[in-house]
Copies of this chain bind each other. A is one copy, B any other.
Amino acid sequence: MESRTARPPSGAPSRFRRVAATPAYRQVAEAIEREIIAGRIRPGEPIGTEAQLVSQFGVNRSTVREGIRLLEHSGLVRRDSSRRLWVGLPHYGRLALRMSRALVLHEVTFRELYEASLPMQLATVEAAVERATPETIAQLEENIARTERALGDPSEVAKLDAEFHGLVGKASRNRVLQLAREPSELLVMPTTEMILKRVKEGAPRLLHAHRMYVDAIRRRDKQAGRLWARRHLEDWRKGFERAGKDLDQPIDRIYLEST
């Protein structure tokens, strides 16, 4: 790589802005990224071995590796069992996790979380009512059955609640909506567990809301779907306040340590 910065002679007036020297490892990453984004290399195709990249870019192995790591981290490049390099499809889950972490670090409040979740849940359930297939409805019912059996176990119910909303998201068949909703869901889930531990009637109410949810989806009743999505989330908020918490507090970062 030819580019390094050149410092202007100390005495001379600074006539030029300093050249933005992109480090070699970043040039490597960006070059490969461009090929993928532009679609010239497609997901599932091989990138080549490290040695090949070394000779193509004319840099050292260490430099190539630093660049590759960036792409692996964002999911654009994957390694299979043999550690060979392939173009990958970044998976939502990882991105959503990172977003939720960013939200926690920025100390967003539970009120922001609640306010943003409501419209996204409503939109999701509407789409799910429109497009749910028998298979996903069956999965939802199976989730409800498991929730019934787990009613006494708050953390299990919270996990099943998250799974439930994931299934509704899948039923919505709208990936943009899913990706927008998922980070919030990741933050709501641990709070749900806390609420269920402190508010006894929480779990049965949650189960009932889920039942009505699925019923609305099965009957393709958008209004009922919206109604129960709203009630379900309102229950969450009420339970939150009943548990003695303040909506305007930042989300505790403790909730993310587990992941």
Contact between B184 and A180 (Cβ–Cβ < 8 Å)? yes
Copies of this protein in the assembly total 2
Complex interface: stretch among A114-122, A136-144, A208-216: A114-122
Instruction: Render A101-127 as a binary contact track against B, CB cut-off 8 A, 1 for contact.
Output: 111111010001101111110110001
Of the four ranges (under 10, 10 to 19, 20 to 34, 35 or more), the interface on chain A belongs to 35 or more
Contact between B25 and A69 (Cβ–Cβ < 8 Å)? yes
Cα distance, A180 to B180, chains bound together (Å): 5
A62 near B: Cβ within 8 Å?
A: yes
A89: chain B residues at CB < 8 Å are 102, 105-106
Residue among B38, B74, B175 making CB contact with A106, cutoff 8 Å: B175
Cα distance, A95 to B101, chains bound together (Å): 11
A65: chain B residues at CB < 8 Å are 62, 66
Known: A37-B253, A116-B123. 10 other contacts (CB 8 A): A34-B257, A36-B105, A62-B62, A69-B69, A70-B70, A92-B102, A108-B175, A120-B123, A176-B183, A180-B181
